[in-house]
């Protein structure tokens, strides 16, 4: 039974008279991030990232736009990475991170004129930084440098002693840690102010400049829990003072304007790992009990900051396929939505927002929703996009589930279309009203795209999220199938030409789908875990496996029961299997096992391994290759004709 349907046309999709979106177009979309308003409120800086298929590389540069509207200017034009723009409080400088000299370092751009100049020279590079209130110094986050060695010598053996000994994108972990450094703008040498066998991050200065709040897990075994806390350290160095005592993760600290309180995010049910709701808390800066402001909200919050008058807290609120800018009084109470609607507010700073909508990649807006950046408009004037609709369906047990359906740009009512069920990663994530290039690439080739937020997704409350606890592939399977069934009932989806696919957890749930039903004529399993006993100790989720399923030698039957590979004999669907060669989030061996099992059973399959790639495929040519392989696989098994006339209307 169809419960509801909502048309998401906040930014009108161009007519199909324009050309459809291609894979190359999708990779030409520039990614806008990190808006930062100048101290005088007149300008906003932001990052624009793009890919260069000819050079097979990416770059990012910083742009500046007036807050009252008008043309933007590029402040940097490097072929490298230029990110994290931060104005000095006095407005004299714009500091940013750049790897143009090798490792990521802080560079300073004098706003009175001149070229940017490298400012920091830490051997371990800089991952983030923050200005002091008086603009005289910056606090830097830098990892301990690697020991010097002869580049021509044989690499030293790897000695592992840590419990968390690997991480995707970094490889094997050693005892090098990230610490805080303070360096004056006048060129003084950076001085280290935190130390120890802990990682320190997210620094925030007190308004008087005397202390710096930061986040660290300083428990006896940091690799065995997620218990990060807020600490305070004197800006000149000294023994850190622990502020929070919550057994879960406390992070994202920000001071009140008068310096008396710190707002931060809190996970108060750490045993629920990623299924737990992230709440908003306030704690006195001189110590005391934290006050959880959103315990009854049952929605995730992000990026809290005090308002300029200190009377309220502004934050991002994830809710049912949207993310809004919200506000709550410092003492708690009713939550108001500053910016709501069918949109995804990605980030904010003072009066600037980063907003995406179904037919618009993220752009910078003012808080009054006046648009300030137009990064992708020239590209999208040429392209016809498919309409995106939100539907609500009832799953097998009556649970309401939201899904998004993207139609081909030339969609006609009364015709059935080849249909792709495309599943999101996570599992604790959600599809939202932000622009999704993957949906539009499929739609441009004549596919109807069904994208579901099944149980396990994050935007519908803690109970909805934890409903798949130690039970993957059951309720979430029922939810995604309910959405497909309704697309068929609406007369839009061709039941004889269904495809399914996804990456990460999207690949995992794809594996479950094709072990439970043969309705799909083609499947794409990207970076999926298939044999959970073999995952433990080879991926980087040792803590999460133990929390949810227990130790594998104690609960071997549960690990085996939940593993898609256990049921591989049920699969009849032609399946394309893909992975990154050095993916340590979900190791390539998991995809290899699935491929070999399908190959030995005589099921049509291919294994695609992207050299040197981790869980996220970064190399532009490989991203293009992946799009093309997706399309070719579905074209091969779902047929070339884009649509058929149904024999009967529902």
Whole-number pLDDT of residue 150: 86
Whole-number pLDDT of residue 349: 97
User: Does 474 have pLDDT greater than 90?
Assistant: yes
- Average pLDDT over the chain, rounded to an integer: 94
What DSSP state is assigned to residue 88? -
Distance CA 65, CA 50 (A): 18
Tell me the two tokens of residue 210: 């005397």
Whole-number pLDDT of residue 49: 97
Cβ-based neighbour number of residue 357 at 10 Å:
21
Kindly report whether the global pTM for this prediction surpasses the value 0.85: yes
Whole-number pLDDT of residue 646: 52
Backbone angles phi, psi at 634, to 5 degrees: -70, -35
Tell me the two tokens of residue 359: 């037919």
The answer to whether residues 233 and 214 touch, using CB atoms and an 8 Å cutoff, is yes
- Under the banding of pLDDT at 50, 70 and 90, the label for residue 645 is low
User: Does 8 have pLDDT greater than 80?
Assistant: no
Short-list 343, 363, 340, CA closest to 353: 363
- Under the banding of pLDDT at 50, 70 and 90, the label for residue 420 is very high
The answer to whether residues 98 and 105 touch, using CB atoms and an 8 Å cutoff, is yes
The answer to whether residues 556 and 548 touch, using CB atoms and an 8 Å cutoff, is no
DSSP 395-439: -TTS-EEEEEEE--TT--TT-EEEEEEEE-SSSS----SS--HHH
User: Mean pLDDT across the stretch 627-645?
Assistant: 86
Cβ-based neighbour number of residue 470 at 10 Å:
13
The answer to whether residues 266 and 248 touch, using CB atoms and an 8 Å cutoff, is yes
Q: How far is CA 196 from CA 180, 235, 244, in A?
A: 11, 17, 19
User: Does 17 have pLDDT greater than 90?
Assistant: no
Number of residues in the chain:
650
The answer to whether residues 504 and 481 touch, using CB atoms and an 8 Å cutoff, is no
Whole-number pLDDT of residue 10: 38
Question: pLDDT tens-digit profile of 71-130?
Answer: 999 999 989 999 999 999 999 999 999 999 899 999 999 998 889 999 999 999 999 999
User: Mean pLDDT across the stretch 504-525?
Assistant: 98
Whole-number pLDDT of residue 136: 96
Whole-number pLDDT of residue 18: 77
Geometric angle at alpha carbon 556, from 554 and 557, rounded to 5° = 120
Short-list 450, 392, 389, 386, CA closest to 418: 450
Helix axes 505-516, 475-489, angle to 10 degrees: 70
What DSSP state is assigned to residue 371? B
Geometric angle at alpha carbon 78, from 77 and 79, rounded to 5° = 125
Whole-number pLDDT of residue 248: 95
Distance CA 174, CA 411 (A): 54
Three-state SS sequence of 575-597: EEEEEECCCCCCCHHHHHHHHHH
The answer to whether residues 474 and 480 touch, using CB atoms and an 8 Å cutoff, is no
Question: pLDDT tens-digit profile of 531-546?
Answer: 999 999 999 999 999 9
User: Does 7 have pLDDT greater than 50?
Assistant: no
Whole-number pLDDT of residue 647: 46
User: Does 226 have pLDDT greater than 90?
Assistant: yes
User: Does 2 have pLDDT greater than 90?
Assistant: no
- Under the banding of pLDDT at 50, 70 and 90, the label for residue 641 is low
Distance CA 303, CA 322 (A): 16
Q: How far is CA 608 from CA 498, 514, 620, in A?
A: 22, 19, 16
Question: pLDDT tens-digit profile of 161-212?
Answer: 999 999 999 899 998 999 999 999 987 899 999 999 999 999 999 999 999 9
Whole-number pLDDT of residue 12: 40
For residue 509, the surrounding DSSP H or E stretch is helix 505-516
Residues 6+ apart with CB under 8 A from 397: 475, 478
Question: pLDDT tens-digit profile of 380-396?
Answer: 999 999 999 999 999 99
CATH placement of domain 383-642:
3.40.50.1820
Whole-number pLDDT of residue 642: 56
**What share of the chain in percent tops pLDDT 90?**
90
- Under the banding of pLDDT at 50, 70 and 90, the label for residue 152 is confident
- Under the banding of pLDDT at 50, 70 and 90, the label for residue 449 is very high
Neighbour order of strands in the sheet with 128-131: 128-131, 137-143, 178-184, 191-192
Geometric angle at alpha carbon 260, from 257 and 265, rounded to 5° = 80
Backbone torsion region of residue 232, taken as left when φ is above 0, otherwise alpha when ψ lies between -120 and 50, otherwise beta? beta
Short-list 612, 620, 452, CA closest to 29: 620
Distance CA 57, CA 63 (A): 20
Tell me the two tokens of residue 401: 């589930």
Pairing of strands 250-255, 352-357: unpaired
Sign of the CA dihedral with 140 first, then 141, 143, and 144 last: positive
Whole-number pLDDT of residue 644: 61
Question: pLDDT tens-digit profile of 299-338?
Answer: 999 999 999 999 999 999 999 999 999 999 999 999 999 9
Distance CA 281, CA 585 (A): 31
User: Does 565 have pLDDT greater than 90?
Assistant: yes
Q: Is 538 exposed, middle or buried (0-12, 13-18, 19+ CB in 10 A)?
A: middle
Distance CA 582, CA 516 (A): 30
* Beta strands in 322-367, from DSSP E residues, in sequence order: 322-329, 336-339, 344-349, 352-357, 360-366
Helix axes 620-638, 437-444, angle to 10 degrees: 40
């Amino acid at each position: 039974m169809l419960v509801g349907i909502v048309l998401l046309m906040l930014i009108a999709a161009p007519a199909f008279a324009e050309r459809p979106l291609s894979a190359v177009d999708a990779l030409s979309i520039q990614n806008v991030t990190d808006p930062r308003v100048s101290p005088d409120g007149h300008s906003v800086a932001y990052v624009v990232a793009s890919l260069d298929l000819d050079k097979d590389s990416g770059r990012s540069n910083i742009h500046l736009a007036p807050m009252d509207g008008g043309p933007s200017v590029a402040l940097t034009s490097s072929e490298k990475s230029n990110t994290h723009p931060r104005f000095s409080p006095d407005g004299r400088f714009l500091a940013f991170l750049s790897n143009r000299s090798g490792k990521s370092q802080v560079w300073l751009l004098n706003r009175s004129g001149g070229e940017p100049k490298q400012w920091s020279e830490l051997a371990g590079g800089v991952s983030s930084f923050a200005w002091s209130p008086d603009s005289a110094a910056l606090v830097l986050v830098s990892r301990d440098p690697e020991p010097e060695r002869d580049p021509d010598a044989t690499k030293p053996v790897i000695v592992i002693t840590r419990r968390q000994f690997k991480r995707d994108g970094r490889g094997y972990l050693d005892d090098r840690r990230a610490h805080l450094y303070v360096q004056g703008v006048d060129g003084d040498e950076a001085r280290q102010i935190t130390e120890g066998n802990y990682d320190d991050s997210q620094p925030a200065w007190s308004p008087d400049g005397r202390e710096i709040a930061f986040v660290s897990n300083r428990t006896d075994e940091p690799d065995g829990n997620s218990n990060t806390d807020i600490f305070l350290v004197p800006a000149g160095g000294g023994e850190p003072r622990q502020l929070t005592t919550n057994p879960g993760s406390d992070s994202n600290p920000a001071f009140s304007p008068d310096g008396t309180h710190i707002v931060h995010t809190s996970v108060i049910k750490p045993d629920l790992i990623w299924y737990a709701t992230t709440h908003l808390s306030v704690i006195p800066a001189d110590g005391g009990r934290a006050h959880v402001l959103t315990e009854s909200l049952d929605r995730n919050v992000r990026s809290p900051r005090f308002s300029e008058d200190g009377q309220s807290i502004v934050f991002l609120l994830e809710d049912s396929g949207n993310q809004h800018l919200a506000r709550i009084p410092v003492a708690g109470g009713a939550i108001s939505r500053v910016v709501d609607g069918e949109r995804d507010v990605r980030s904010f700073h003072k009066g600037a927002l980063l907003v995406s909508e179904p037919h618009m990649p993220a752009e910078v807006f003012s808080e009054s929703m006046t648009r300030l950046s137009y990064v992708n408009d020239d590209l999208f004037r040429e392209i016809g996009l498919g309409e995106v609709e939100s539907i609500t369906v009832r799953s097998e047990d009556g649970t309401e589930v939201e899904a998004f359906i993207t139609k081909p740009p030339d969609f006609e009512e009364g015709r059935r279309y080849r249909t792709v069920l495309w599943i999101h990663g996570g599992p604790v994530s959600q599809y939202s009203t932000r622009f999704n290039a993957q949906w539009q690439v499929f739609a441009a080739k004549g596919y109807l795209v069904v994208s579901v937020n099944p149980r396990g997704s994050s935007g519908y409350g803690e109970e909805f999220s934890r409903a798949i606890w130690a039970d993957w592939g059951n309720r979430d399977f029922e939810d995604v199938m309910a959405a497909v069934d309704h697309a068929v009932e609406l007369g839009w989806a061709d039941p004889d030409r269904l495809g399914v696919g996804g990456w990460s957890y999207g690949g995992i749930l794809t594996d479950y789908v094709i072990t439970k039903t043969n309705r799909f004529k083609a499947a794409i399993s990207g970076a999926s875990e298939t044999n959970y006993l073999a995952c433990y100790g080879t991926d980087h989720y040792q803590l999460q496996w133990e929390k949810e399923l227990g130790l594998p030698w104690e609960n071997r039957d549960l690990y085996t029961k939940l593993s898609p590979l256990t049921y591989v004999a049920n699969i009849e669907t032609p399946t394309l299997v893909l992975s990154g060669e050095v993916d340590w989030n979900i190791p390539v061996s998991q995809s290899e096992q699935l491929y070999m099992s399908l190959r030995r059973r005589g099921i049509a399959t291919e294994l695609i391994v992207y050299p040197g790639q981790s869980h996220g495929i970064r190399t532009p040519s490989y991203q293009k290759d992946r799009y093309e392989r997706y399309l070719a696989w579905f074209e091969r098994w779902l047929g070339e004709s884009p649509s058929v006339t149904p024999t009967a209307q529902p």
